[in-house]
Structure 1
Amino acid sequence: MTFIIRPARPGDVQQIYEMAKRTGGGFTNLPPDRPSLLTKLERSAEAFERDDDQLDDDRFMFALENTATKQVRGTCQIFAKVGQKWPFYSYRIGALTQHSEELQRTFRADILNLSTDLEGATEVGGLFLHPGERSGGLGMLIARSRYLFIRMHRARFADKTIAELRGVIDDAGGSPFWDSVAGRFFGMSFQDADEFNAKHGNQFIADLMPKHPVYIAMLSEQARAVIGVPHVSGRAAMRMLENEGFSWEKYVDIFDAGPTMTVQTDRITSVRNAREIKIDVIDAPLDREKASKMLVAHGRLNDFKATYGWIIEEEGRVTLDAVAAEALGIGAGDVICAIERNAS
């Protein structure tokens, strides 16, 4: 069974919609709303069609396809430059220290500052893998294929890359953080605000969000406990991001307080350590004692594909297994972008 990553197409909308209904809320980039998803897919198609090297407000949406059944079993996205149509808001955790001579005490208060520091960065997000496929390294394939795409189209992306992780959502689908902070100003539930943001963007945040700092000590205990904490389903994703060089610099999402991870794009492990390799021989089967399992990619923009492949490099010759070559649509003499499956 072979899976490939390829550009998502408007014709994939129904399968992606069915997956979106499984996310459980708080997944802004993959709303369970068919018209919104179709709009995102159409915008993505325009980005893949634009064949130049200009950094712009592009959305690239990818699909994980089972090549045998042609079913879409996962998806992910790259936003080339956030904060262009609407401001890109985050909270950054800071501190205010004050001293009282009369009491002979120093008070330190942690505060949330509304920030647009991350505007202009590239964002990786929207990653979802069908529950029936959460094995065999497919999550890693989806996640890391984005970094190979960035490396292969480097001029189309910013010098900083971010990733927003979904925050803690309770059993009822609500957010303790939203209820304690923004919900008091907006008069709508977390689910309603999240859905509105997914469909219409976050300009309403700019219109209604209080601009003054929020003192964390004044929030409910439940809200304080979830600041900077990823959803239970996002812990593995956070570890993968850390392995790629991302770190948490105290930025959190304004809706659910999930952590926003950041990294310099050229320091992303899969961007920095990937190699361009010319294939000399296509063969099958390969001796697994000699071969290395690698994430391999080929093609520009609409022709981009990524998959796992086995490679042998010996005596100045590079051999790729025939299954991966067929999945990528390549032959001897073609150049691929590749990185070891367990590279760090």
Structure 2
Amino acid sequence: MTHVIRAATERDLPHLYEMAKLTGGGFTNLPPDRRALRAKLERSDAAFLHKDAQPQDELFVLILENVKTGEVRGTCQIFTSVGQRHPFYSYRLGTLTQHSRELDRTFRAEMLTLATDLEGASEVGGLFLHPGERASGLGLLLARSRYLFIRAHRARFADRILAELRGVMDEAGGSPFWDGLAGRFFAMSFQEADSFNAVNGHQFIADLMPKHPIYTAMLTEHARSVIGMPHPSGRAAMRMLENEGFAFENYVDIFDGGPTMIARTDQLRSIQDAKDARFVGVAEGGTESLIAAGELADFRCTLGCVQESENGVMLPEACAQALRVAAGDRLTHVARV
């Protein structure tokens, strides 16, 4: 395999910035702002250096690198516990049922209620793969490497994990959900709010938005139609999350109405099915797998073939070199299928 997942460093700032400019907006975990990206890398570096295994408000930034050329082709992020610095707000989509005896009719009203129910959960996010690599299967490597990292550092993560997907935007880069709800309370366009949100967080929205439930019937039809719907570019990511064990449990982003996917950490497919083994030698062929080795800043993950034996596992030479493992080193592997 020619690509490997590794810990991000400050040298990756130019690469992250170039990728951020390709996201097309609404991608708050990867803003096209050097100061914000530098702060993320500094926070990530501190997390990689921190040895305490207790769950804290930490961020790990991972990078997808072509080991032959040194090019950075993607990135992803893992948050250990959301809502510790600032409340983690979501809209919970629910139904209020009322019955009128006089009319002999039952009325069901769909409502959006501001909630912090997901506070304390871990989060996977910030996944971006360079457009030129999207037919190569590297998105799967980026996505599932996060779960192998979590498994290797399980004590640092919560029992519940979430993933927020970007909501629907129109051709002009606007958000129907923003225009139908939050935009009515702020003197700024979605693009302006999106830029501010990416750098400063969406606490300003939570502070100024009305705290009472919102009846969706009061929204425009277009705004209602996109509640809980992912951006078209995120549909494949949603399917991967569902295959991993995530489900939509009626929580949506307060900013663009995108779906929040939730799972129990220990029930994630990659965590449940992964096996630990010792690297015992080089061999070609075997089961195509995701393979990870190392901890914290030394963590590396790649795709390759695994041959299992009584004493351990064997890997192709290029795969072993990408992981930087020697005979006797411990690694984790899980089948790609």
Q: Do they superpose with TM above 0.5?
A: yes
Tell me, in whole angstroms, the C-alpha distance in 2 between the residues paired with 1:312 and 1:135: 26
Tell me, in whole angstroms, the C-alpha distance in 2 between the residues paired with 1:37 and 1:150: 22
SS at match of 1:45: helix
Tell me, in whole angstroms, the C-alpha distance in 1 between the residues paired with 2:236 and 2:21: 21
SS at match of 1:31: coil
Residue 105 of structure 1: aligned partner: 105
Deviation at 1:315, TM superposition (A): 5.3
Tell me, in whole angstroms, the C-alpha distance in 2 between the residues paired with 1:314 and 1:65: 30
Whether the aligned pair in 2 keeps the contact of 1:294 and 1:338 (CA below 8 Å) is yes
Tell me, in whole angstroms, the C-alpha distance in 2 between the residues paired with 1:309 and 1:64: 15
Residue 23 of structure 1: aligned partner: 23
Please tell me the residue identity of whatever aligns with 1:235: R
SS at match of 1:186: coil
Unaligned 5+ residue runs, structure 1? Answer: none
Tell me, in whole angstroms, the C-alpha distance in 1 between the residues paired with 2:44 and 2:312: 38
1:176-325 equivalent positions in 2, closer than 5 A: 176-283=176-283, 286=284, 288=285, 291-314=286-309, 316-325=311-320
Unaligned 5+ residue runs, structure 2? Answer: none
Tell me, in whole angstroms, the C-alpha distance in 2 between the residues paired with 1:312 and 1:275: 13
Whether the aligned pair in 2 keeps the contact of 1:91 and 1:112 (CA below 8 Å) is yes
SS at match of 1:279: strand
Whether the aligned pair in 2 keeps the contact of 1:86 and 1:202 (CA below 8 Å) is no
Q: What is the alpha-carbon root mean square deviation over aligned residues?
A: 1.1
1:329-340 equivalent positions in 2, closer than 5 A: 329-340=324-335
Please tell me the residue identity of whatever aligns with 1:297: A
Deviation at 1:332, TM superposition (A): 1.4
Tell me, in whole angstroms, the C-alpha distance in 2 between the residues paired with 1:135 and 1:334: 32
Tell me, in whole angstroms, the C-alpha distance in 2 between the residues paired with 1:91 and 1:128: 25
Whether the aligned pair in 2 keeps the contact of 1:282 and 1:332 (CA below 8 Å) is no
Deviation at 1:106, TM superposition (A): 0.9
Tell me, in whole angstroms, the C-alpha distance in 1 between the residues paired with 2:88 and 2:23: 23
Please tell me the residue identity of whatever aligns with 1:245: G
Post-superposition Cα deviations, 1:29-50, rounded to whole Å, max 9, x if no partner, equal 0001111111111111111010
Say which is worse superposed, 60-69 or 95-104, in terms of deviation.
95-104
Residue 42 of structure 1: aligned partner: 42
1:66-105 equivalent positions in 2, closer than 5 A: 66-105=66-105
Please tell me the residue identity of whatever aligns with 1:201: G
Percent identity, aligned pairs only, is 62
Tell me, in whole angstroms, the C-alpha distance in 1 between the residues paired with 2:12 and 2:178: 33
Whether the aligned pair in 2 keeps the contact of 1:97 and 1:107 (CA below 8 Å) is yes
Post-superposition Cα deviations, 1:98-123, rounded to whole Å, max 9, x if no partner, equal 11122111110000000100000000
TM-score (normalised: structure 1): 0.96
Whether the aligned pair in 1 keeps the contact of 2:306 and 2:314 (CA below 8 Å) is yes
TM-score (normalised: structure 2): 0.98
